[in-house]
Amino acid sequence: MNAADPKIGGPQAETRPVIRQLDEAAANRIAAGEVVERPASAVKELVENALDAGAGRIDIAFADGGKTLIRITDDGCGMTAADLPLALARHATSKIDGSDLLNIHTFGFRGEALPSLGAVGRLTITSRAQGHDAAQISVSGGREAPVRPAALNRGTVVELGDLFFATPARLKFLRSDRAETQAISDAVKRLAMAEPYVSFTLRDLSGGGDGREIFRADAEQGELFGALAGRLAKVIGRAFIDNALPIDADREGLRLTGYAALPTYSRGAAVEQFLFVNGRPVRDKLLTGALRAAYMDFLSRDRHPAAVLFLTCDPERVDVNVHPAKAEVRFREAGLARGLIVTALRHALAAAGHRASSTVADATLGAMRPGFAGAPGDAPRIYQMDRLSYGASFGPSSDALRNAYAAQAPMFAEGPQAFASPFASPTARAETVTDTSDIDHPLGAARAQVHENYIIAQTTRGIVIVDQHAAHERLVYERLKRQMAENGIAAQSLLIPEIVELSASDAARLLDLAPDLARLGLTLEPFGGSAIAVRETPAILGEINAAALLRDILDELSDQGDSLRLQARIEAVLSRMACHGSIRSGRQMRAEEMNALLREMEATPHSGQCNHGRPTYVELKLADIERLFGRT
């Protein structure tokens, strides 16, 4: 190396990078990339500003997926002529004074949205505050025009044209007009859910003229849950509300409200999961993980619950200043927030008892209508994958399970067993109804067994069709879970402890979780350095690969912040035991057996669906049946 080397100085030293101060326009365009990713981001920021201004009505219009025009009109408090230049200055805001960045009660607070939009598009703001004249200011690609008088009755109109014209490279990354329109619609609907007492309209002006209205939600009236139900029916659909449970729970200053759908109303993707923190729409792994954990016992990994949940707490207990887009949050007491969601949802689902989704009956009636035929190649609806595949390689054989658990599950039986029964026929047999005492029960009185698997029951309002195997499978499973909760999970000591080598950080995370794992029968101890000794494993799982199990738990900890993998595997084994121990299809049942099954279903939480997510019964109203036959 010589003195001419540019790394140490010399004749070529002038080629080294030079630190420069970027001009304000360049800095604004760079910052805009964080705040405004696409037209939907601009709509979100502008609508949030309108909500912070106290608007009771917000009209959103756009053209060409928001690429050429976005216009937000509100009836909020407005701004004066003196306010407008400040509104376009970076980090200028009326929402905080800068003394406390945790005590935030508004959607916006960073003072970045308007200057960012003005840096990458053509922005015009027209506003009028009460007692002042209307005024207008424009900025195009960061070049600001002077304030001038304008005509406006009240509130504010923000018009953004030619988004990203100042940064044409960004335009190449935008999707089709249709995709951007859908993203705008989704952003507006999320904010409409958060503010049921505010009116929203969304109009597409593409092609000129008045355009077309693609979403409208007038302000709701009445108490919170009624208003929220009305708004959600307009945003998501009436089917969600008809099959959702109201949630209202609190713990140590955190409150959870909203609606969570029944498990039989599950979706194939997480498209109906909407989470809000202090009214702000968020996408947070902690919250989505808690939602999934609450439904863990009812849905497989390929089915997703539907829910709209609002978590409210003191603003100082949650940090919303994690990212400029403010879509992520960080809780001071993450475990408390997660526990509240899991507990509240599980209690609500248990309180729902045997209730199942009404969409099951709707689908049944649709299939029964004359002329109904599925599309060629249509597959039957799949509610959930068989739980046998989940952790099957970690458990013993079914025979071993039945032998080990026979004392706790004496109802296990092999194969169909014949019973003398007036209903024992492959097809339905008529019977004169003389006893009406059971008809008043929710699931009615058993009247027949058809195809040796389906119980037909009469209720005061119609009929119920029960899948005897699916229903009894759920009952046995819930019984086994109660027994496990009462007696604990037996642990089997390993003759030779299994030593698992991990990184120091992974070992520390598992040892922090050791008390919780011990309650599930998995005993861990430090073994010097970063190694962990597995001394006991859950007896119900039989012989397992402890190293693989620990790594699965660590993967879930990294992804969700918590792990329910071990509990899920134990419950999967219980589910298989329940499947083998339940009444089989093909077994003929006596009338008293069928009625006893119906009464136990009514008394058992979650009995509206089997362990695989399928409904255990379908209820058909008499009026619906009569319509099938044209009697109404």
pLDDT at residue 123, as a whole number = 94
Q: Which residue did the predictor score with more confidence, 415 or 94?
A: 94
pLDDT at residue 33, as a whole number = 59
How large a percentage of the chain has pLDDT more than 70?
75
pLDDT at residue 32, as a whole number = 63
- Pairing outcome for strands 199-204 and 57-63: parallel
pLDDT at residue 335, as a whole number = 84
pLDDT at residue 116, as a whole number = 84
pLDDT exceeds 70 at position 362:
no
Going by pLDDT thresholds of 50, 70 and 90, the confidence category of residue 119 is: confident
List the single range of 144-158, 375-389, 544-558 with lowest mean pLDDT.
Answer: 375-389
- Pairing outcome for strands 69-74 and 57-63: antiparallel
Tell me, what DSSP letter sits at residue 131?
T
pLDDT at residue 105, as a whole number = 56
pLDDT exceeds 70 at position 77:
yes
pTM assigned to the model: 0.70
User: Considering just the CA atoms, what is the radius of gyration of the chain in Å?
Assistant: 31
**Token representation of residue 266:** 């599950």
| Average pLDDT, integer, range 84-105 | 65
How large a percentage of the chain has pLDDT more than 90?
37
Query: For the domain 380-483+579-628, what is the CATH code?
Result: 3.30.1540.20
Cα–Cα nearest to 413, from 336, 472, 488:
472
430 and 591 Cβ atoms separated by less than 8 Å = no
| Average pLDDT, integer, range 334-358 | 84
| Average pLDDT, integer, range 513-535 | 88
List the single range of 336-345, 355-364, 425-434, 518-527 with lowest mean pLDDT.
Answer: 425-434
Helix 113-120 to helix 39-52 angle (10° resolution) is 140
Mark out the alpha helices in 111-171 (DSSP H runs).
113-120, 168-171
pLDDT exceeds 70 at position 81:
yes
538 and 490 Cβ atoms separated by less than 8 Å = yes
pLDDT at residue 428, as a whole number = 40
Going by pLDDT thresholds of 50, 70 and 90, the confidence category of residue 598 is: very high
Q: How far apart are CA 330 and CA 317, in angstroms?
A: 9
- Pairing outcome for strands 523-526 and 491-501: unpaired
List the single range of 270-274, 293-297, 429-433 with lowest mean pLDDT.
Answer: 429-433
Return phi, psi of residue 344, to 5°: -65, -45
| Average pLDDT, integer, range 531-551 | 86
Going by pLDDT thresholds of 50, 70 and 90, the confidence category of residue 548 is: confident
pLDDT at residue 34, as a whole number = 64
Amino acid at 73: T
| Average pLDDT, integer, range 296-312 | 86
pLDDT exceeds 80 at position 363:
no
Going by pLDDT thresholds of 50, 70 and 90, the confidence category of residue 298 is: confident
Cα–Cα nearest to 145, from 135, 155, 154:
135
Residue 295 buriedness (CB in 10 A; 0-12 / 13-18 / 19+): buried
Query: For the domain 224-351, what is the CATH code?
Result: 3.30.230.10
Q: Is 267 helix (H, G, I), strand (E, B) or coil?
A: strand
Q: How far apart are CA 343 and CA 341, in angstroms?
A: 6
pLDDT at residue 14, as a whole number = 58
Mean pLDDT of all residues belonging to the chain: 80
Query: For the domain 24-96+106-217, what is the CATH code?
Result: 3.30.565.10
- Beta-strand (E) ranges in 87-154? 122-128, 135-140, 143-144, 148-149
Q: Assign a CATH topology to domain 491-574.
A: Ribosomal Protein S8; Chain: A, domain 1 (3.30.1370)
Q: How far apart are CA 51 and CA 58, in angstroms?
A: 8
pLDDT exceeds 80 at position 531:
yes
pLDDT at residue 55, as a whole number = 95
Tell me, what DSSP letter sits at residue 304?
B
Cα–Cα nearest to 536, from 550, 522, 525, 546:
522
pLDDT exceeds 70 at position 53:
yes
Type and span of the H or E element at 102:
none
The string of pLDDT tens digits covering residues 420-451 is: 333 333 344 334 344 556 788 989 999 999 99
pLDDT exceeds 50 at position 280:
yes
Type and span of the H or E element at 535:
strand 531-538
pLDDT at residue 212, as a whole number = 93
pLDDT exceeds 80 at position 11:
no
**Token representation of residue 54:** 């106290």
List the single range of 231-235, 376-380, 391-395, 492-496 with lowest mean pLDDT.
Answer: 391-395
pLDDT at residue 488, as a whole number = 78
The string of pLDDT tens digits covering residues 305-328 is: 999 999 999 888 887 766 655 667
120 and 141 Cβ atoms separated by less than 8 Å = yes
| Average pLDDT, integer, range 296-311 | 86
The string of pLDDT tens digits covering residues 563-590 is: 666 777 777 777 777 776 677 778 889 9
pLDDT at residue 203, as a whole number = 97
pLDDT exceeds 50 at position 610:
yes
Q: Where are the domains of the chain?
A: 24-96+106-217, 224-351, 380-483+579-628, 491-574
525 and 499 Cβ atoms separated by less than 8 Å = no
List the single range of 203-212, 401-410, 417-426 with lowest mean pLDDT.
Answer: 417-426
Q: How far apart are CA 623 and CA 628, in angstroms?
A: 9
Instruction: Count the helix, strand and coil residues of the chain and give each as a percent rounded to the nearest 5.
Output: 35, 20, 40
Going by pLDDT thresholds of 50, 70 and 90, the confidence category of residue 295 is: confident
Type and span of the H or E element at 526:
strand 523-526
